[in-house]
Each structure stands twice: as C-alpha cells, then as structure tokens.
Structure 1
Amino acid sequence: MAFSFITYEVASRIATITLNRPEKRNALNGEMVVELRAAFQQAGKSEDVKVIVLKGNGEAFCAGADLAYLQQLQQNNYEENLADSRELMQLFLEIYELDKIVIAQVEGHAIAGGCGLVTVCDLSYVVPEALLGYTEVKIGFVPALVTVFLVRKIGEGRSRDLLLTGKLIAAEKAAKDGLITEVVPAASISEYVNKIAINLCTEAAANSLKVTKQLIGTVLDLPIKEGLEHAAALNAATRSHEDCKRGIAAFLNKEKLKW
C-alpha cells in the first residue's frame, strides 16, 4: 500500500512508522487511520520486523482529530459515525494486541486521539516539553475508546482526573502517573529509543515478548485463580518452545545468545 499521510521504514528489524502531516500537527483523519492500520498490519506480518517505533514528523506528535475531519463527521449519520469510530477502535486494539512490541517516541504534544495512540503503545518515551491529555470534553466530544485502555493502564481515579477535566499534563506528571514509560531529553531521545528497540531485538526472544505481552493484556480480565492457571499453562507451553530451549542451553553453557 502506498502511504500519503505516514511513512514506513524498516532497518535492523525495527519498523518505524511516522505520522507525516507536520503542517497539520499530524492530526488524524480517516485516511491516516486507514494507513496506520495497514502499516501496523504490514509490520506485524513481516518476518523482518521484531519491534515497531511510532513517532511524529515535526513539532507535534499528534494533535488529535483534524478540524476538517471533525466538520465532516458532523454531516454523518449514526451508522456512518459508528463505522468511522470502529476504524479507530480497530487501530487501538491492533496496536494493543499486536504480537510485536510497539514503542511511542513522542517529541511533541500528544493530545486527544494522539494521546490515545501513546496510551495503547507498550512503551513510551517522551520529551520534557511535550504536553499530553484527552481534551475531548472541551469540545463536547467524549474520549470513549481510549477510556477502555486508560482505566486499565493507570486506574480509575487518575483516569477520571484526566478524562473529566480534559486538562493537559507535562511529561514528568504523565510518567509519575504511569501514563508513559519515561521522560527523555529531546537531544537524545532518538538514540535512546533506538537503543531500547535494538536491545529488544537482540536480547529478548520473540516468542517470550509475544506471550508476555498477551499475558499482560489478558490477566486483568481473569479472577486470580483463573489468571494463575492461565499463567501456568503459558509457562508450561513456553518451556517446550524452541526459543526457550535455545535460551536455557545458552545460559547453562554461559554463552551469549543474540536473538
């Protein structure tokens, strides 16, 4: 698929997906959502990709929904708006459930749907100058889709504070609340994120990353005893996987294994 609103590159088993509407502060529209879904699906299926980095071109990571796009939605009927909402829903869900690790590299403000993208990534590294928040209530909208993920990520209390007030918070506050992974200076964030991605590629087994991510995403839905039984089953299944056999053999032989 040819992309008009994003770019897609692969190097050293790292796929970099870049929001590429800097003149619109990388605001989301229907076409961009479709392209993002296609790019993540492509990366997910590619044997040449182990880790995915999501970033934005220009001063903003993503400013939320494009104004022209919002105006267009005003003309839609309920069924059309439901279909459109489901496209963004699928994008969030696909990132959240993807077998591969997704890292957000946030070098500017991430607002509304843009902050939603950050929320569903596995790891997120953000420059100190960036502001993050869900401002939907301030324009009479609702942060519906991201709520499902945010409550799981940071809890009900902090989610109420962010979603009901629509306030923007600094990166340091976002890190303290558990919304993002870490604050990294702008001068070093590209190198820092690349190092994290390379370490994941070379120092962790792909199957281990996949199964661990799946476990994190499902364990909260299960009663504790069912969760433990599910974890035990995954533990047992993983022991017979080729990655585990290689890893244990290398550990016992005191060999450095490059995944």
Structure 2
Amino acid sequence: MNAVDTPAIAGGAATPAPAGTPPLIVEHVAKSYDADGRIVPVIGDLSLTLDEGEIVAIVGPSGCGKTTLLNTLCGLIAADSGRIRWHGKPIAGQPSGVGYMLQKDLLLPWRTALRNVMLGLEIRGVSLSDAEERSHVVLDKLGLHGFAEHYPTTLSGGMRQRVALARTLVNDPDVLLLDEPFAALDFQTKLLIESDTAKLVRESRRSVLLITHDIEEAVSIADRVIVLSKRPTRVKTVYAIDLGTERTDMIAARESPGFTDYVRRIWADLDVTRQ
C-alpha cells in the first residue's frame, strides 16, 4: 500500500509539549521529485503552524502539491529541507496522536462498519470488548446508530465516509489531517458531515488541518484559511476567519454577513493567471 492509499495514521497519545506549544510547526519545508532525471520542485520554502483546538483549511490551485504536503507532514515521505516539529519535537517517522483521512473511504468490503472502525484498535492490541465499545460510541456520535453490522456495499456514500471518519476518530488522535474527505459527497450530505465533524473536534479541542478545493467549505468550517500558490507551492495569503456565529453549524456560517466577502477574496487569490 503506497503513501496516498494509507487510510489512517493513528498512534498513541502524543508526548505532552510545554504549554502554549502548537501541535504542529512547519518551517521552510521544501520537497522536489525526480521525474526521469528531471528535478520537479513541488513544495518551495513553506512555513505554517497549527495551534491546539484550531481548524485550519488549506486551499490552492489544482496540482500545487497539497497532498504531497500532508504526506510530508505526517512522515510518509521525507522533506528535502526545512523542519517539521510535532508537539515541539522534530518529526521522526510517523508522529503519534495524528489521524490521517483521505477522500476515498478505503473501507474493507469484507468487514462490517463496526469492524472497519475497530481495525486500528485491533492493530494496536486493544482488547476486543474495549474496541467494540469505543467503536460503537463513535459510530453513534456520527449518526450511524443501528448500522454497525452493515457492510460497506449496503451503505450510502455519506454513510461510508462517516464510517471512515469514525475509524480515524476512534483512535483518539489529537490532530486530524484531512485530505478532501467530503469532496465526493452531495451538497446536503457534505453540510451534515462537516457540521458533525466540526462539533466533534471542537468539543474535544482537537486540531485539524484540512485540504480542500471547496472555498465555501474552507471558510465555513475553518478558523484560518491558508491559500497556497502554484508550484513550487508556498503560502500566498492567510485569512483569519471571523463570521460571528456558531462554528459547528455550516448553514449558519454560510449565511453570516462576512461569508461571501471571504469567499470572493480567496477566490481572487486563487486566480493562477495572477501568480
């Protein structure tokens, strides 16, 4: 299984850092690929932070290297230069306390919803009874009560994505890396799952780094939106989002007075003809 196909990374609890230390600090990271002897720069001198309890959305032109960035941050591929620190410590392999969720749900078709959610706990050696109990709790919180014994083929796309989210959350990560997890969903389902996700992560003070192509999604759910440039990607602009409304209600967020202005400004920044 290659890096981009990894359904989740979820280690044990992260080692506590000094109070006030952001869970993630990225300093001047760069990454290039060798394409048949030609060096192709993907990430160029990129820096960012993710604070405790913060949701940060990253948007950028298609192909600018957003997924490469996430894979680098979680240790699946190595940066060429720069520093990545998790909880104040330099990255060494795959960091603990981090859950990574992709656009594809990657559920195992021969396992029920419950057994898919339990997978990471089983790998970590958690007892069967404890794993089942914890998995049931997360499934119920995500609106899947009564569907634990259903197989993926009998679930809708939205339900499958909720199972994938439950599989990530059940390991109790303090940081979530989300790579367009709602992109394939219809609009109504997307809003519902976005709201459920925001509620769960904000209640537990988890930190989230979300990759998305959807500017409206970014503005409605995030505390900050980072706009990336085209390749070699760098941070072009950062927006602190203040909508003056409850940040777990995606409908209320999209109806707030400042919402459209943020969307228009970010859209203008993404105009690659100006870069």
Higher relative helix content = 1
Name the structure, 1 or 2, with higher relative contact order (CA <8 Å, separation 6+).
Answer: 2
Q: Compute the TM-score of the two structures, normalised by the length of structure 1.
A: 0.33
Higher relative strand content = 2
Q: Compute the TM-score of the two structures, normalised by the length of structure 2.
A: 0.31
